[in-house]
């Protein structure tokens, strides 16, 4: 395993005496001991990581501190001043003064004490192993591969740490809050074959969802454009005369829905997306008048009024949309007793807590689950979740 070890000499008095920093790179594979389990959540022990980017044209002309303070607002201004002074933020590998003016295309590195958000403490169950394919049941709240603040708390990371499976190449994507079947190729050539079949329209996929109300018995086909707003993190549909205008931003989308069962309050629905747009099933179900029953992002206010506090599957997204405030953060109170499990960095703006600031510890599984993918001469399936059986 490749590890780079260096002492942060520039940190001087701010660091512990003889504090050894283990600098991790993408070459460092996740290991079992990287994880901490608390109150039904899987946490990752904080670790040192270097983020590297290049100065964009809109950043050029700013001071190094203003660049970070303006565009990376997760930390306070004073943190960035200290990080530049002690060398945790460098330009072209060199220390610079806080007044340094950055230039276009320069390489900037930021050496951070990284805290990953927690996920549900569910196993990533291996369903089937073949010479060139692995299928698993992905737990909800766990992203498929490294993205954003997630690196080790991912399906790919957990499979490496707990099953020794790697390298793996995800064939398709499931949203972080969605559970169910995930197909991973064991080599790049097999992954390319799967993707070619998907792009050619030769692959069918099926999901199950638990929705509000009694769903119609006849098959429902929703064929309306879906427009994803990245800033808000949610999609909308575009229907009627709007779809005939050149200003339409949405993409063509089609989903077929079939009732499986109902108890008069909720229904279990089989969902067959013909296209693959962001949040397509979720927003198309909302369009039918039967949104997913715990989908905080797409339910109306009266549909969530009966929920106990903390039941939402998408509370973090709701907070970003203005439905919650920072005081509603449900991060577990165990953080203060977890400090013995990892070294506290005196410069870190998240320490001594285990969970990074701004992330909710109470996310639950969205009631949307992938059950089947099939293509020419192959089919993979995943068992139904417990919530798909109505009583």
Domain span holding position 71? 4-30+47-114
Sign of CA dihedral 100, 349, 162, 23: positive
Last residue of a domain, one of 114, 130, 165: 114
Residues 135 and 152 in one domain: yes
Provide the pLDDT for residue 24: 79
Q: Give the mean pLDDT of the chain.
A: 85
Residue 330 lies in a domain: no
Residues 255 and 286 in one domain: yes
The residue with greater pLDDT, 16 or 358, is 358
Residue 342 lies in a domain: no
Length of the chain in terms of residues written: 391
Last residue of a domain, one of 88, 114, 140: 114
Angle between helical axes of 64-71 and 77-86 (0-180°, round to 10): 140
CA distance 304 to 130: 43
Closest to 149 in 3D by CA, of 30, 44, 33: 44
Residues 71 and 100 in one domain: yes
Provide the pLDDT for residue 391: 84
Can you tell me the mean pLDDT for 90-118? Answer: 96
Instruction: Please tell me the total count of domains within the chain.
Output: 2
Residues 108 and 126 in one domain: no
Residues 106 and 169 in one domain: no
Provide the pLDDT for residue 302: 56
pLDDT at 8 over 50: no
CATH of the domain at 273: 3.30.2350.10
The residue with greater pLDDT, 204 or 16, is 204
Residue 197 lies in a domain: yes
CB 268 within 8 A of CB 209: yes
Residue 323 lies in a domain: no
CATH of the domain at 84: 3.10.290.10
Residue 108 lies in a domain: yes
pLDDT band of residue 359 (cuts 50, 70, 90) is confident
Sheet hosting strand 119-120, strand order edge to edge: 35-38, 41-44, 119-120
Provide the pLDDT for residue 1: 31
pLDDT band of residue 249 (cuts 50, 70, 90) is confident
Residue 192 lies in a domain: yes
pLDDT band of residue 247 (cuts 50, 70, 90) is low
pLDDT at 169 over 70: yes
The residue with greater pLDDT, 300 or 158, is 158
pLDDT of 337-348, one tens digit each?
345 578 899 999
Residue 279 lies in a domain: yes
Can you tell me the mean pLDDT for 116-120? Answer: 94
Write out the two tokens for 140: 């909800």
pLDDT at 333 over 60: no
Write out the two tokens for 264: 């008069």
Residues 375 and 233 in one domain: yes
Kindly list the catalytic residues: 175
CB 263 within 8 A of CB 391: yes
pLDDT at 7 over 50: no
Lowest mean pLDDT among 39-43, 170-174, 281-285, 307-311: 307-311
Provide the pLDDT for residue 273: 97
Q: Residue 359: how many CB atoms within 10 A of its CB?
A: 18
Residue 85 lies in a domain: yes
Can you tell me the mean pLDDT for 136-150? Answer: 94
């Amino acid at each position: 395993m490749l590890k780079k070890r260096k002492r942060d000499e520039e940190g001087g008095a701010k660091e512990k005496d003889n504090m050894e920093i283990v600098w991790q790179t993408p070459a460092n594979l996740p290991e079992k001991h990287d994880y901490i389990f608390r109150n039904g959540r899987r946490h990752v022990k904080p670790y040192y990581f270097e983020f590297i980017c290049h100065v964009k044209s809109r950043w050029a002309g700013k001071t190094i501190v203003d660049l970070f303070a303006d565009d990376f607002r997760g930390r306070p201004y004073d943190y960035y001043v200290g990080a530049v002074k002690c060398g945790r933020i460098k330009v072209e590998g060199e220390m610079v003064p806080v007044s340094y003016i950055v230039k276009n295309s320069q390489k900037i590195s930021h050496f951070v004490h990284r805290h990953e958000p927690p996920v549900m403490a569910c196993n990533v169950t291996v369903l089937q192993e073949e010479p060139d394919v692995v299928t698993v049941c992905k737990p909800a709240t766990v992203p498929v591969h490294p993205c954003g603040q997630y690196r080790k708390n991912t399906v790919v990371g957990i499979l490496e740490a707990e099953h020794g499976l790697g390298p793996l190449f995800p064939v398709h994507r499931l949203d972080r809050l969605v559970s169910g079947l995930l197909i991973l190729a064991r080599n790049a050539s097999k992954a390319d074959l799967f993707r070619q079949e998907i792009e050619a329209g030769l692959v069918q996929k099926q999901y199950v969802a638990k929705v509000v109300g009694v769903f119609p018995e006849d098959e429902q086909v929703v064929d309306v454009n879906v427009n994803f707003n990245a800033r808000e993190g949610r999609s909308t549909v575009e229907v009627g005369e709007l779809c005939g205008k050149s200003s339409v931003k949405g993409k063509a989308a089609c989903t077929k829905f079939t009732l499986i069962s109902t108890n008069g309050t909720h229904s279990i629905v089989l969902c067959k997306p013909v296209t693959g747009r962001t949040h397509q099933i979720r927003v198309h179900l909302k369009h039918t008048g039967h949104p997913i029953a715990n989908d905080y992002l797409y339910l109306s206010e009266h549909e969530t009024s009966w929920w106990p506090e903390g039941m939402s599957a998408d509370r973090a997204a709701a907070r970003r949309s203005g439905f919650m405030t920072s005081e509603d953060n449900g991060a577990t109170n165990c953080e203060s007793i977890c400090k013995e499990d990892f070294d506290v960095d005196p410069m870190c703006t998240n320490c001594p807590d285990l969970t990074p600031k701004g992330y909710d510890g109470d996310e639950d599984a969205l009631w949307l689950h992938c059950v089947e993918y099939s293509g020419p001469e192959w089919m993979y399936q995943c068992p139904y979740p417990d919530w798909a059986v109505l009583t």
